[in-house]
Amino acid sequence: MQQLDVITFGEAMAMFIANQPGPLHEISQYSLELAGAETNVAIGLTRLGFQSGWVSKVGNDAFGKFIVNRLKEEKVDINQVLVDTNYPTGFQLKSKVTIGDPEVQYFRKGSAASNLSIDDFNEEYFLSARHMHMTGIPLALSSHTRAFANHALALMKRNGRSISFDPNLRPNLWTSKEEMIQATNEIAFQVNHVFPGIKEGEILTGYQEPYDIASFYLDKGVELVIIKLGEEGAFYKTQIEEGMVPGYKVQKVIDTVGAGDGFAVGVMSGLLQGLPVHETVLRGNAIGALAVQSPGDHTGYPTSSQLNDYMANHFQGVK
């Protein structure tokens, strides 16, 4: 079995991006793309030269075939992507905007991915990876996917693998805010690295300052907490060091979706290579900046040489 650097799991969807700005119900032409927080991460890491695997289910339909083909093109390992003949692949509609966040409508209830269960779990495949990246989305999709996530976490911890976690809160998928906070923090307390956005951190901890949010998780045993602050950059804290890393200013923000996943890609790439924390956060900021300058969720993610060129030729905090 192929050895992997990183493994992740979750739901991918076919995404129809509007070809022109306007309300979704008025758009007649769309372009087909791939969407999914965990697939974004897997794609971003393979572009940087890492071996990444993505685990999920897709329907036996055109959307499922599209997802599989796109991941093959990106050289993501899909040996544990299962085809479900009973449930369909989810999809979404996404608006085109000139400023701000796009409108997104999801059609994912009862999808094949939401039926991923412990019965589908391949222990040998997970243990072929030295690191696992999780998001909070599988926790919210269904009881099946939440059980799968907890099972994966327990296995990887028991076998000494490092684990990172991006809360990626989706309030609309939860029955209550309280359940979302409890289930998300139960996972966050058990991992090595946590990457919440500042608003997510406020919701999950009740604190507003990055220092206090980070301390909340460090006190529970987390090794590294990085708070994403958008264009301002990111704040990081461990038990022995802390710092603020300014973001890269961009000329024009085209689409913010996927920037957080790109940030995680940059950070994980640095951690996997043993770089200092400050440098790993700098990488995350750079990929996040590249991501917001492109329309697709992961279109702007760079190769290793493109990332190095961008970091060498763009100044932090300056247009």
Residue burial 126-136, b: 16+ Cβ < 10 Å; e: rest = bbbbbbbbbbb
Question: For the chain, what percent of residues have pLDDT higher than 70?
Answer: 96
Over 50: is that where the pLDDT of 319 sits? no
With CA atoms as reference, report the closest residue to 194 among 134, 142, 241: 134
Per-residue model confidence as pLDDT tens digits over 134-174: 999 999 999 999 999 999 999 999 999 999 999 999 998 99
Over 80: is that where the pLDDT of 252 sits? no
pLDDT of residue 258: 72
Residue 81 vs residues 37, 78, 147, 171: alpha-carbon distances, Å = 16, 5, 18, 26
With CA atoms as reference, report the closest residue to 171 among 263, 106, 258: 106
CA atoms within 13 A on the CB side of 91: 18
Q: If you count them, how many residues does the chain have?
A: 319
If pLDDT is split at 50, 70 and 90, which confidence band does 199 have?
very high
Average pLDDT on 183-195 reads: 98
Catalytic residues: 261
- The residue among 68 and 98 whose pLDDT is bigger is 68
Kindly state the tokens that stand for 37: 């927080």
Domains of the chain: 4-313 (3.40.1190.20)
Strands lying side by side in the sheet with 129-135 = 81-84, 52-59, 4-9, 129-135, 162-166, 193-194, 224-228, 233-237, 242-246
DSSP state of 80: T
Query: What is the separation of C-alpha 25 from the centre of its chain, rounded to a whole number of angstroms?
Result: 28
Residue position matching structure tokens 């003949």: 85
Task: Provide the 10 A C-beta neighbour count for residue 164.
Answer: 23
Average pLDDT on 14-31 reads: 91
With CA atoms as reference, report the closest residue to 10 among 130, 147, 132, 113: 113
Beta strands 91-96 and 13-21 are parallel
Q: What is the pTM assigned to this prediction?
A: 0.93
- The residue among 309 and 295 whose pLDDT is bigger is 309
